[in-house]
Amino acid sequence: MAKMAMVINLKKCAGCGACGIACKTENNTRDRKDGQSYNWADFIFKMDGKFPDLKFATYPVLCNHCTNAACVDACPVTPKAMFKTKDGITMHNDERCIGCRSCQDACPYSVMDQREGGDYSVISFNSDEAAPFEYYRDKTELIPGCTSSGAEIAAKAGATPPMMTAYMHPEYDNVRREGIVEKCILCSHRLADCKEPYCVETCPSGARIVGDIDDPNSKVSILLKTYESEVLQPEKGTKPNVYYIRNYNMK
Amino acid sequence: MKLKRRDFLKATAAVSAVAMVGCGAPKNNALAPMNPKKAIGEEPGEWISTTCQGCTTWDPIQVFVQGGRAVKVRGNPNSKANCGTCCPRAHMGLQQLYDPDRVKVPMKRTNPKKGRGVDPKFVPISWDEALDMIADKLMELRNNGEAHKYMLNRGRYTYMRDIIYDAMTKIYGSPNNISHSAICAEAEKSGAFYTHGYWDYRDYDLHNSKYVLIWGLDPLVSNRQVPFTIKSFGDISDKATITVVDPKLNASAAKAHNWLPVIPGTDGALAVALAHVLLTEDLWYKPFVGDFKDSVNHFKAGQTVDADSFAGKHTHGLVEWWNIELKDKTPEWASEIVGIPAESIYKTAREMAVAAPSVCVWMGPGAAMHVRGTYTAMAIEALCGILGSIDNIGGTMMKGKTHVNKMPKLDAYKDATAKKKFKKIDQRGFLNFPAMKKGKSGSGVVTNNVADGILQKNPMEIKMGIGYMNNFPFSGTGAQRWEEALSDLEFYVHITTHASEMSQFADIVLPSAITTFEKWGYLKSKGNLHSQVSLLQPVVEPMWDVKIDETEIPYLIAEKLAARGFDNLFRYYKENFNDPETGKAPTNSKEFAEYAVKYYTAPSWDGKKSFPGDKIKGLEEFKKAGVWNDARLSYKKSWGKFKTKTHKFEFYSETLKQALGKHAKKHHVSIDKVLDVCNYEARGDKAFVPHYETPFRYGSFEEYPFTFIDHRSRLNKEGRSANTTWYQEFKKVDLGDESWDDVLKINPDDGAKLGLKNGDMVRITSTNASFVIKVKLWEGVRPGNVTKCYGQGHWAYGRVAAEDYKNAKPKGFNNNELMPADYDRISGSTARNGGFCGVKIEKV
């Protein structure tokens, strides 16, 4: 048994965006559409003060893998499609999901439609109306006969999307089907194979650390003992397991 | 190329945290899948080494390939310069490789009319037909005695550039091989060269530094070692003071201890004021600079000093510099000019002095790419001299040694046509374009002036050109000139991955293999005090019948020229690039591309010569490792033998005096005349010392009350990534920017005066152009200035980059169309900073 958590050291974080893009390459998440971002890793920014006394901070955000996960509580399916694994990961089963979006509605870190506001959304919904990766299914050519098309590239590469990272997961397809929600699973398919989540591995600043906070000797536990930490929206009572330590800026 | 055990432990320290729960025990124990009967984990694949060319870091990376597909990217753990990291740009490469809008076959223009918004009516043609047309045109020029009317426009390159840029152009018989270099750099090299004789980008001993002064760049975002800086910045800020000088809040300033938001173009005033404090307060680093003979400080504000009273050590001309420039340049004088309180200037100088010599003065383009930028660059670089931090622990370093073969000699392959001498189309070396690379008149490049050279037909008419991996109608300031110039040409060939702005003016478009993923090449780069040789190799089969720009295409053209009776170039390629392993001559373009890379890089892996750095045993090991690392730089190697005229660090630049003198003599004029024609303010001896010059500005403050600041994106891959959806989606990581949009950032106080709120549209007008753009009110810019990131504003390139490709409608606007074309003429650099672009803002 373990309780997986992530500690993000904001002092090291440079707000560069690499984790957000790397996550899309690892987890084959599609492009933003109809107010759904499909960004399992994303960013929020804070800027306070007045020129020239400014305080800027980036907060990389992802699923908080909450101990009291509102999304899990809200899932109406039995057994639940959104559930906690024994390692504390908030997991989603894509076969049991009925696409009711109750989880998305319940999650304090998600919004139903980003066009109506909200900086980011942990949970996104794959509409029933279009197959994933329309961009790579489109058959039109910019310059007919001369440039390619999404469909042609995907066919030639042999996957949709063409850069699809092939991995297996018992709960999850590596590209999610229509009519279900999706979100960060803490790269559970990598953790099981002794690999870091891809956002952790590719963070050029080394700001992200994943580990078991029930183990007092884990690096995450040690960091949380060493530094004060904060979580996002603690008042919601979800007990998030993504912790932010140190300050992004010197102010 | 094994990682040392210690490095391995360091690299996997975080992994062990996971291992404790999941991987110490039998596999999948603690993190067991919910249904243990089903498989979990990554499908097999292979990490293949190559190099990212998203910016000038030239970051060694690895690409994970599954079933012949490139699926993800990471930093190359074998690189000592990046310590196994890569920045966001590298990941975006996947979307560039698999971009639906890539050109997949050669295209021929069928509409003779050229211009923006004019459909070229491209039709697909075979490689053979395209190459025939190119060879016919090249032969037509040669046979008419007009070989010099051909030009080669180099863009982003690998070191295989020799083959297309040098060999092909020179053996064919044209002087016009023109690089892109001065589009976005070079001026800073003037600063280093005329003070300490080093014409290149510097390295920085960041981890030993006690004070890092970042000036005119945002190293977390762009410049030449982005991943290493991202990796190090947090740790460095724990042990050193970091101060950022930049007119707008940049990503580094946001994390630094101090931000000095200098008024655009006044950097030189701040630099000389810092120098003034360091001298008047007896704070210079004496073991390097030297001291007064009586050990008493005679630098008193406003008073001249007797030059004989000072004994310089590794430096030359400190007293002359003081007398000519520094004595009156007090922080109080500077304060009003630069917009920073005098106390901050005193504090900065004093803190740097306490940290000396372990001070990195990290100068970037924002401080140098000004109309009068050479002198600003010199003033900033001179601080390394006063602080003794040049080539010293924790200071500004230079580069190490890389070992590669040189370009085989061309002379034997040049016929009478090729031996003719002509001036170059960029007008380098003209009276008004000294363009002095390493102090030699006309040896640098004035890339952005090529458009004017073509339009003026001076020094010659240009009838034909070939360009590769460039897009000057997008990347050059005064970009409209390029549209006009390219429309004027009889025949233009663009080698490109995308139908870019430049392609719209081409008669033939050749589809290029994409760098990083499909191309053979190699690069030299540095960081973390290690220089390196980094390999580019095809990691996947090319998507289409695309060819490598720098090697395959010139080989195929040479073959066609040989078939038409001119075989010198083909013989040069066939006779000089044998496979170093087998001795075999190339029999086709693909072999040529591979043999040529092997030829150049052989000393890094063939074991024939011994030198410090990695020992790599053979080509296969080099391909696997992807990078050869030089030994770590040692300190003070250059002390006493700087490559200046005096071999000292020159505060009075005898090197620049000689260089300007030779240029003036060539044109039979005085140095003062050169300075006048080139729009510098200095006359007399002042021209030889680092000094402040008033920013030159297009547009009066009365008519154009705001100053435009152009800045860089952390996602730009030199203008080539805007057609990826990930670029658009994460555009917000550029401070103050909005995803999928292009916004003009205005201080809220100015916004209030103009009655603007977020999302309003305004008309922005410079002396060069006028656009309508969305407003973002943002505190990160000083009132009186407005700023916008470079990168959006494509009216071609693809369906994501452009708002409407078919109708040539841009997403936002291109900063390079707003800014007029001008230069720091001593270096030939394009001015794009320094407050030279006045604008007016009107609500629409």
Token duo for residue B638? 């250059």
Q: Which residues pair with A7 in a beta bridge?
A: A209, A243
Residue B524 CB neighbours (<10 A): 16
**Secondary structure letter of residue B688 according to DSSP:** G
Which of A26, A191, A200 is closest, CB to CB, to B31? Answer: A191
* Gap between the Cα atoms of B653 and B656, Å rounded: 5
Which of A56, A143, A188 is closest, CB to CB, to B254? Answer: A56
- Interchain CB distance below 8 Å, B33 and A192: yes
* Gap between the Cα atoms of B548 and A57, Å rounded: 43
Concatenating the DSSP letter of every residue in B572-594 gives HHHHH---TTT-PPP-SHHHHHH
pLDDT of residue B37: 60
pLDDT in tens, B728-786: 999 999 999 999 999 999 999 999 999 999 999 999 999 999 999 999 999 999 999 99
Task: Give me chain A's average pLDDT, please.
Answer: 97
> B211 and B352 in contact (C-beta within 8 Å)?
yes
- Interchain CB distance below 8 Å, B234 and A9: yes
- Interchain CB distance below 8 Å, A145 and B257: no
Alpha-carbon separation of residue B201 from A98, A172, A177, B236, B440 (angstroms): 58, 48, 50, 21, 18
Which of B35, B733, B798 is closest, CB to CB, to A15? Answer: B733
**Would you place residue A126 in the very low, low, confident or very high pLDDT band (cuts 50, 70, 90)?**
very high
Question: Which has the closest alpha carbon to A111: A186, A176, A181, A26?
Answer: A181
Concatenating the DSSP letter of every residue in B169-236 gives HHHHT-SEEE-SGGGT-SHHHHHHHHHHS--S--EE-GGG-SEEEEES--TTTSSS-HHHHHHHHHHH
- Surface-to-core class of residue A196, CB atoms within 10 Å of its CB (0-12 exposed, 13-18 middle, 19+ buried): buried
pLDDT in tens, B792-841: 999 999 999 999 999 999 999 999 999 999 999 999 999 999 999 999 99
Which of A2, A11, A170 is closest, CB to CB, to B38? Answer: A170
- Interchain CB distance below 8 Å, A191 and B779: no
Residue A134 CB neighbours (<10 A): 14
Which of A149, A210, A249 is closest, CB to CB, to B254? Answer: A249
pLDDT of residue B35: 56
Q: What is the rounded average pLDDT of the residues B195-201?
A: 97
pLDDT at B17 over 60: no
pLDDT in tens, B581-622: 999 999 999 999 999 999 999 999 999 999 999 999 999 999
CA angle B350, B351, B352 (to 5 degrees): 90
CA angle B507, B512, B517 (to 5 degrees): 165
Q: How many CB pairs under 8 A join A and B?
A: 304
How many helices and strands in chain B, by DSSP H and E?
Answer: 28, 32
* Gap between the Cα atoms of B172 and A207, Å rounded: 53
Concatenating the DSSP letter of every residue in B745-771 gives EE-HHHHHHTT--TT-EEEEE-SS-EE
**Would you place residue B26 in the very low, low, confident or very high pLDDT band (cuts 50, 70, 90)?**
very low
pLDDT of residue A130: 83
Owner of token pair 């101090």:
B258
Domain A4-245 has CATH 3.40.30.10: no
pLDDT in tens, A81-99: 999 999 999 999 999 999 9
pLDDT of residue B735: 98
**Would you place residue B38 in the very low, low, confident or very high pLDDT band (cuts 50, 70, 90)?**
confident
Strands of chain A, DSSP E: 4-9, 42-50, 53-61, 82-84, 90-92, 124-125, 167-168, 181-182, 208-212, 229-230, 242-245
Reduce the DSSP state of residue B60 to 3 states and report it: strand
* Gap between the Cα atoms of B415 and B142, Å rounded: 11
- Interchain CB distance below 8 Å, A147 and B102: yes
Cβ-Cβ contacts under 8 Å, A227 against chain B = none
pLDDT at B53 over 80: yes
Token duo for residue B563? 């078939």
- Interchain CB distance below 8 Å, A191 and B715: no
> B773 and B697 in contact (C-beta within 8 Å)?
no
Cβ-Cβ contacts under 8 Å, B37 against chain A = 170
Task: Give me chain B's average pLDDT, please.
Answer: 95
Secondary element (H or E) of residue B258: strand B258-260
- Interchain CB distance below 8 Å, B71 and A164: yes
Owner of token pair 């980003």:
A114
pLDDT over 70, % of chain A: 100
How distant is the alpha carbon of residue B732 from its chain centre? 23
Which of B18, B88, B798 is closest, CB to CB, to A18? Answer: B88
* Gap between the Cα atoms of B838 and B288, Å rounded: 42
- Interchain CB distance below 8 Å, A148 and B27: no
Q: Which residues pair with B204 in a beta bridge?
A: B396
Mutate to test the interface with A, among B496, B501, B779 (most CBs of A within 10 A): B779
Name the pairing type of β-strands B649-650 and B315-316: parallel
- Interchain CB distance below 8 Å, A190 and B41: yes
Token duo for residue B348? 């900065």
pLDDT in tens, B137-149: 999 999 999 999 9
- Interchain CB distance below 8 Å, B21 and A218: yes
Residue A101 CB neighbours (<10 A): 17
Cβ-Cβ contacts under 8 Å, A95 against chain B = none
* Gap between the Cα atoms of B482 and B442, Å rounded: 22
- Interchain CB distance below 8 Å, B779 and A162: no
- Interchain CB distance below 8 Å, A158 and B69: yes
- Interchain CB distance below 8 Å, B41 and A50: no
- Surface-to-core class of residue B241, CB atoms within 10 Å of its CB (0-12 exposed, 13-18 middle, 19+ buried): buried
How distant is the alpha carbon of residue B229 from its chain centre? 16
Question: Which has the closest alpha carbon to A169: A103, A99, A93?
Answer: A93
Question: Which has the closest alpha carbon to B543: B108, B99, B63?
Answer: B99
Minimal Cα distance from B42: which residue of A? Answer: A167
Minimal Cα distance from A39: which residue of B? Answer: B729
Cβ-Cβ contacts under 8 Å, B105 against chain A = 145-146
Side-chain-facing half-sphere of B335: CA atoms under 13 Å: 11
> B173 and B148 in contact (C-beta within 8 Å)?
yes
pLDDT at B34 over 70: no
pLDDT at A177 over 80: yes
Q: Point out the least confidently predicted range of B14-18, B169-173, B326-330, B749-753.
A: B14-18
pLDDT in tens, B627-666: 999 999 999 999 999 999 999 999 999 999 999 999 999 9
Token duo for residue B10? 């360091």
Domains parsed from chain B with CATH numbers:
1-41 (no CATH), 187-398+645-651 (3.40.228.10), 706-843 (2.40.40.20)
Phi, psi of A92 (to 5 degrees): -130, 130
Owner of token pair 């304060």:
B335
In chain A, where the domains are located: 4-245
Alpha-carbon separation of residue B676 from B198, B437, B691 (angstroms): 26, 20, 16
Alpha-carbon separation of residue A105 from A122, B377, B749 (angstroms): 11, 56, 38
Name the pairing type of β-strands B491-496 and B464-468: parallel
Token duo for residue B662? 């030779």
Name residue B436's amino acid.
Answer: M
Residue A173 CB neighbours (<10 A): 15
Q: Point out the least confidently predicted range of B17-26, B433-442, B717-726.
A: B17-26
> B802 and B729 in contact (C-beta within 8 Å)?
no
* Gap between the Cα atoms of B156 and B147, Å rounded: 25
pLDDT at B511 over 80: yes
Cβ-Cβ contacts under 8 Å, A14 against chain B = 220, 229-230, 233-234, 251, 255
CA angle B709, B711, B716 (to 5 degrees): 155
pLDDT of residue B615: 97
pLDDT at B561 over 50: yes
Mutate to test the interface with B, among A33, A114, A143 (most CBs of B within 10 A): A143
Reduce the DSSP state of residue A251 to 3 states and report it: coil
Token duo for residue A246? 């140190």
Q: Which residues pair with A242 in a beta bridge?
A: A6
